Amino acid sequence: MDILFMLRKGDNEMKKIIISGIVCMLLIISFVLITQASPPRPGDNEPVRPGGEPPHPDINSTSMPSVSRPTTEPFYGIIGTVTNAETGELGVGFYVRINDTVVRTDSKGTYSLTGAEVQAGVYTITLDLPVELQLAHPPKIVSVGEWQTVVVDLQYTTDWLRLRLQSARDRVQHLSTKVEQLKQELAASERQLSQVKHELTRLEEQAGLTTEHVISSTHETTMFWDTPALALPPPSPPTSLFTAEMAHGGYFGIHVTNATQGMWVAVQWQDGLGNWYNVDGWQGELHNNHQQLWWVDKSNFGKGPFRWIVYDKQGGTEIVTSSLFYLPQNMGEVVMIEVLRGR
């Protein structure tokens, strides 16, 4: 009522205030209507991340598709170049020790250690030097963090190369000395062999033998042989150990102590499997002097092993077996086996 009364009275000042208020209310209502009429743009009402980065989708919302998180592991690495501190020459083929791992420089003098072998931590890096030069080339200690590649360049001096060269020369000198010693030992052995040959020739000349005879009568006596020696009787019954046929062979025999009349003896040979077999022609009755003697051609010298079997009679019971023996090895040699028969 007061407002209407004031309007009637024609209060101009109040009219202006009321009209201004009505205009402001109309402007506000118009702005609200315009805002509700236009569709919202994506991101208009979403919060802004620090630094102006666009917001990440809400992976926990049921209305959003499934998004996998990144699985890349942090990367670490240590690389560097080895050079000569005096000349700048690249250190090719040098070994670098990184904690307990040793790597080698490539054709460009570069080394590297990356991937799973490197983790975040502290590393000691040094050239793999001789003990004499380790104090002159102290190691470098670096700290490696996540997603970090550390560059550690190393240097060496010519003293190291000089020491390596001297070490190689010392090894060559040692090998040369060893070779010279072996040559001297070989020369001494050759002189001894020559002396032995000379002495052998002298003995052959004294015995009236030729080199051909000696070679033909030399056999390995420590090995088994596969076939028995050929049993050849002497050209005539031996009347003496120095008969003419001894120039072509030797003798072997057996003497049985306490032998009785009619005892029978036989020779057996052993094959490579240890089996024993009788030798045809080397079987017979003991003579009155309790012994048996057979002739051996030089082609069978040194063969064996053999053994004697003594029977009470031909086809009878075995009573004594001798020890092993080998055939004669020299012209005119007699191999006699003594066997004692118990009473």
Give the Cα separation of 254 and 266 in Å (integer). Answer: 10
For 130-134, 162-166, 208-212, 313-317, which range has the lowest pLDDT when averaged over its residues? 208-212
For 185-194, 210-219, 283-292, 313-322, which range has the lowest pLDDT when averaged over its residues? 210-219
So what's the pLDDT on residue 138? 76
pLDDT digits (tens, 9 = 90+) for 305-314: 899 999 999 9
232 versus 112: the higher-pLDDT residue is 112
C-alpha radius of gyration, the chain, whole number: 57
String of b and e for 42-60 (b: at least 16 CB within 10 Å)?
eeeeeeeeeeeeeeeeeee
Helix, strand or coil for residue 311? strand
Quick check: 229 and 279 in contact, CB under 8 A? yes
Which percentage of the chain shows pLDDT scores above 90?
A: 11
CA dihedral 192, 194, 195, 200 (to 10 degrees): 130
Amino acid at 316: G
Average pLDDT over residues 22-51: 63
160 versus 288: the higher-pLDDT residue is 288
Report helix, strand and coil shares of the chain as percent, to nearest 5. 30, 25, 40
So what's the pLDDT on residue 80? 93
Helix, strand or coil for residue 33? helix
Which percentage of the chain shows pLDDT scores above 70?
A: 67
For 17-26, 69-78, 322-331, which range has the lowest pLDDT when averaged over its residues? 69-78
So what's the pLDDT on residue 133? 59
pLDDT digits (tens, 9 = 90+) for 26-36: 888 877 777 66
pLDDT digits (tens, 9 = 90+) for 51-75: 444 455 454 444 444 434 444 566 6
Quick check: 251 and 241 in contact, CB under 8 A? yes
Is pLDDT at 47 greater than 50 in this prediction? no
So what's the pLDDT on residue 268? 92
Verdict on whether the full-model pTM lies above 0.85: no
For 4-13, 59-68, 210-219, 318-327, which range has the lowest pLDDT when averaged over its residues? 210-219
